[in-house]
Amino acid sequence: MESYEHIAYEYAKKGASLVLVARRENSLREVARKAVQLGSPDVLAVPADVSKVHECKKFVEEAVNHFGRLDHLVCNAGIISFCAFEDITGIGNFTPLMDINFWGSIYTTSFAIPHLKKTKGKIIANASSSGWLISPTLSLYGASKAAVINFYERLRKELEPDVKVTIAALGFIESEMSQGKHLDNEGVVKVNQEMRDVSIGILPILSVGKCAESIVNKACRGERYVIEPPWFKVLILIQFLCPTLLEWAVHFLYVTKSGTPVTNARNKKILDAIGGKKFLYPSSILSSQIKKD
């Protein structure tokens, strides 16, 4: 259900050869098998941890050695935290947010650029609308994604016209994150769907398949940004034109003070009162059967 695998499937449908990178080797092989069924002529699966610079260098080299070229780089690894900043008790455990969300993309991009220049290739950076929008309980996550957006906006100008950069600023998408997998206030990976409900509330969640299709199609066209779900464009516009209006809405819907019970959030109370999860959330994210690694 992760976006990386559905992005791979969309490329496979277009007949692209693929290099898949993730920590879970069994999942990689399953995605590779399905990608071949969907039309990819050759898929190389490389287990690796993008937070480690030497592993990023190694899998870029493996990709180029195997295929002889590199046309598109998709930077998609990510982890999220759901907690108020003042409630954090293990601040030293939150370095993975930057190591994975930011540095994982930067390491890989650094090693890929020389090869992408040769093919007039493209970089697709999977960021988040939280990098622009006010997001209580997502302060550290939002900061890591703001860093991603800022970096790739500037890199775009450095690389034009040799390499095009598409930034995917995503909102709430069907994924393990929207299923409740996150770093808790101690910096430990947990699955907590109550915190998910507090953070997402009454906002609808887009299917991962539609999101992946949009990302791949727009990246192939060389578009500068992909914003999904589409209605997030309205929130981003309000943020830039009338930020006080968005701040009022956030204050009304979210618990923003440290120590306040998360169940007091108005958006969660509204969600529960109207039974919103039945029609706002895909059934796939309501299951708690996901891996915590």
According to the model, what pLDDT value does residue 256 have? Answer: 56
Residue 251: CB partners within 8 Å, gap ≥ 6? none
Strand partners, 169: 127, 227
According to the model, what pLDDT value does residue 131 have? Answer: 92
User: Strand, coil or helix: what is 266?
Assistant: helix
Residue type, 30: E
Q: Which CATH superfamily is domain 56-286 in?
A: NAD(P)-binding Rossmann-like Domain (3.40.50.720)
According to the model, what pLDDT value does residue 167 have? Answer: 98
According to the model, what pLDDT value does residue 161 have? Answer: 94
Does the pTM surpass 0.85? The reply is yes
Q: Given phi > 0 = left and psi -120 to 50 = alpha, else beta, which region is 51?
A: alpha
- Active site (catalytic) residues: 141
According to the model, what pLDDT value does residue 84 have? Answer: 81
Kindly give the confidence (pLDDT) of every residue in the chain, 293 residues in length, as a single tens digit, with 9 standing for 90 and above: 466 799 999 999 999 999 999 998 898 999 999 999 999 999 999 999 999 999 999 999 999 999 999 999 999 988 888 888 888 888 999 999 999 999 999 999 999 999 999 999 999 999 999 999 988 788 999 999 999 999 999 999 999 999 999 999 999 888 888 888 888 888 888 888 888 888 888 888 888 999 999 999 999 999 999 999 999 999 999 999 999 999 998 888 876 566 667 777 888 888 888 888 888 888 877 765 555 55
Over its C-alpha atoms, the chain yields an Rg (Å, rounded) of 19
Cβ distance 93 to 38 under 8 Å?
A: no
Q: Say how far apart CA 200 and CA 194 lie, in whole Å.
A: 10
Q: Say how far apart CA 170 and CA 203 lie, in whole Å.
A: 13
